[in-house]
Amino acid sequence: MAPEYLPGRRRVRRKRRRTDDEETLRRGPRHGLSELQRSVGNRTLQRALARRGGEVLRQADYRLIGRRGRNVSDSDKDKQGEEAETTAGQPKEAGRETMKSLTGREWTERYPTSKELSDLDASFALRVRKYLDALRKAGATVEILATKRPKERTYLMYWAWRIAKQAFDPRRVPIMPRLDINWWHGEASRSVTAAQEMVEAFGINGLREPPALTSHHNEGKAIDLRISWAGDLKIRDGRGLERIITSVPRDETNAELMAVGRSYGVFHAIDVDKEKVHWSVDGR
């Protein structure tokens, strides 16, 4: 039975607390229609849409439009970031030349050549060790000058020699990726002087031909050796036979010594005059 209404009293109408689902519908979806469906359920959403004449849809569309606007803004920011990477209206790459380091003696201290046998190719290192053991047992003096050489150092040696000895135009030197070096000092004389400093520091000033631009040294399949001895050299070759070397010169360019090296699979450079200390897997 309904409560009796008493005259003179104001009838107070209590507000019914909304459920969580109704509150979500009133405020509208936070992330579009699909999020609303996950929040309150598809049936509840359909009933609400029928009552409110598509108001929720309009709210969802409005939010989607706002999201598209934010995406456009992000795109504009990306474009602004790209424009910020230009200098005076020119691409960033255009200003890289001024950022490169000029050539000089200090470049010869970078990308050092190894002198360790452990840096050689494993197969070639095994042959070299056997050859060096035979030389030392025979009483020869052996000095390892170079084993594996970085490609960057080979590049520096070759072009420094070409500029200093053959007057190659420094502005025409090919660019090596990730090597920020500038061979051009603003005038030819200063560029040649800097290249000559590098040639002397590299120890290639006495070469009559430019050093190789690509080498087995880059692969760990070559070694530079300085060898010397006094008197006759009694040495065992790779087959275990004893050889007696009586000829001269008593150094790494001796023809009989080269034959011993070949028996171990270590070949002296084919062009002896050009590369006196160079040994490799095939003589190149």
| 200 residue type, one letter | E
How do the domains of the chain map onto residue ranges? 20-67, 106-280
pTM: 0.61
3-state secondary structure the chain: CCCCCCCCCCCCCCCCCCCHHHHHHHHCCCCCHHHHHHHHCHHHHHHHHHHHCCHHHHHHHHHHHHHHHHHHHHHHHHHHHHHHCCECCECHHHHHHHHCEECCHHHHHCCCCCCCHHHCCHHHHHHHHHHHHHHHHCCCEEEEEECCCCHHHHHHHHHHHHHHHHCCCHHHCCCCCCCCEECCCCCHHHHHHHHHHHHHHHCCCCCCCCCCCCCHHHHCCEEEEEEECCCCEEEECCCCCEEEECCCCCECCCHHHHHHHHHCCCEECCCCCCCCCEEECCCC
Pairing label, strands 181-182, 242-245 = unpaired
CA distance 69 to 63: 10
pLDDT (tens, 9 = 90+) of the chain, 284 residues, equals 455 545 555 555 565 565 555 555 555 544 555 565 555 566 665 666 555 554 444 444 434 334 444 444 444 444 444 433 333 333 333 334 446 899 999 999 999 999 999 999 999 999 999 999 999 999 999 999 999 999 999 999 999 999 999 999 999 999 999 999 999 999 999 999 999 999 999 999 988 889 889 999 999 999 999 999 999 999 999 999 999 999 999 999 999 999 999 999 999 999 898 889 999 999 99
CA–CA separation, 201 and 104 (whole Å): 10
Structure-token pair, residue 58 = 């309009």
Kindly list the distances between the CA atom of residue 227 and the CA atoms of 48, 131, 181, 230, 262, in Å, as whole numbers in the listed order: 96, 12, 36, 11, 15
What token pair was written down for 11? 């009838």
Q: Is 197 helix (H, G, I), strand (E, B) or coil?
A: helix
Overall CATH class of domain 106-280: alpha beta
